Amino acid sequence: MAKNRNYHHLIPQVYMRAWKHGKSSIYVVESGKNDLGKETKTSTFGGINNYHSIKAGMLFASPDDCNEFFKPLQNYNLLISGRKIKDPVSLNMNFLNFDDWIINDSNGVKVTRKVKNSLKASILSIVKKDIEKGWDKYYENHWNAIIDKINSVIKEKLEDENIVLPHWMHLTKIGEEIREELIKFMISIEWRTKRYHPELQKMFDQSLRRKNFDFKSIVIPKGEMLYPFLTTLYDEYAHGIMLKYYREFLEGKGPIMEEVQEFIKESGFAFHLAPDDGEFITSDNPVCRFINDNGNVEYFFPLNPKVACTLYPKGHKDYFLLNPCDKDELVEFNNLVKESCKEGYIIRKQNRELYFGKK
């Protein structure tokens, strides 16, 4: 079956496959439920059609985007609200009202409705997918290499008879690579998945709510939605700025990369090993943010059914902690993942005791 290029996985397939059975099936338990889950293909879970695509009319489209979108109009003269407009960025800002535009050909003759509809279709056929392609190239395609390095380091330590767990490992060159690559992957996943990043959500809620006015309450008419998942003005604005930040991240700059660099500068890692009678779960929102006993933000991220990690600020950045979990700790971590999911969480085997203990 050909890959659906329009279905953008918010949680990478290559990551989910650590929990697969058969060729590419996983068990997904719907959010809020405690059953054995439903068999689902990794290709159809954890994604949204065109989630990272940019087309005409979207907020925060770049000038280069707008130049491409409106190339079909370059030989026409446009009147919008009685004004001649040629600038592609201005055209993008007014694209919602395209049907009201007056479009004249090079001879000054107003085009027919048929020609106008054809021009609109041509504009909407131009879709920028550089964000999804960039993610695949720089991050998703390298996940297996990251996890192989982690598994190799852990295996080496576990085979050393002189090491007693829990154990602090001093970082080697490979350890430094693991640390930087894993931080980039984790932080970018948190920004990539739904729900929105907590700090971004807080900013949206403050800026998009005024006295007696809430952008969440402004529903976009079906015929005017840019994409089916952008149902309110809040969605449209929030999604647009998220795409802007994510594009900047793939270019090595912007708020997401700034957060990555902050964690690289001062944070530490612990790798948690599941007990023989337990496994870690994951979800469609696998990077879990929580407040530790010291009041600091930590991240928990399951790497595969037997290994998970926590990223903590202002930690021992020159060391990894290798920590064997008992069953109670495992259940606590799994409940954190379960409560953080949006649509559902993933189990490898249909055996709840393996993940949540005896009830």
Q: What number is the average pLDDT over the span 204-231? A: 81
For residue 38, the surrounding DSSP H or E stretch is: strand 38-41
User: What pLDDT sits at residue 212?
Assistant: 64
Q: What angle do CA 171, 180, 152 make, to 5 degrees?
A: 55
Q: What sign results for the dihedral spanned by CA atoms 91, 96, 101, 105?
A: positive
Total count of residues recorded for the chain: 359
pTM equals: 0.89
Average pLDDT over residues 70-97: 95
Q: How far apart are the first and last CA of the chain?
A: 41
Q: Give the largest Cα separation in the chain, rounded.
A: 86
Integer Cα distance of 313 and 290 in angstroms? 12
d(CA 28, CA 41): 9
Nearest CA to 238 out of 206, 266, 271 is that of 206
Whole-angstrom Cα distance, residue 137 to residue 3? Answer: 16
Question: For the segment 32-64, what is each residue's pLDDT rounded down to a tens digit?
Answer: 999 999 999 999 999 999 999 999 999 999 999
Place of tokens 């985007």: 65
Q: CA 317, CA 334: separation in Å to the nearest integer?
A: 25
Query: Would you say 284 and 46 are in contact if contact means Cβ atoms under 8 Å apart?
Result: yes
pLDDT at site 193: 82
Domain layout of the chain by residue ranges: 7-47+131-192+258-356, 63-124, 198-252
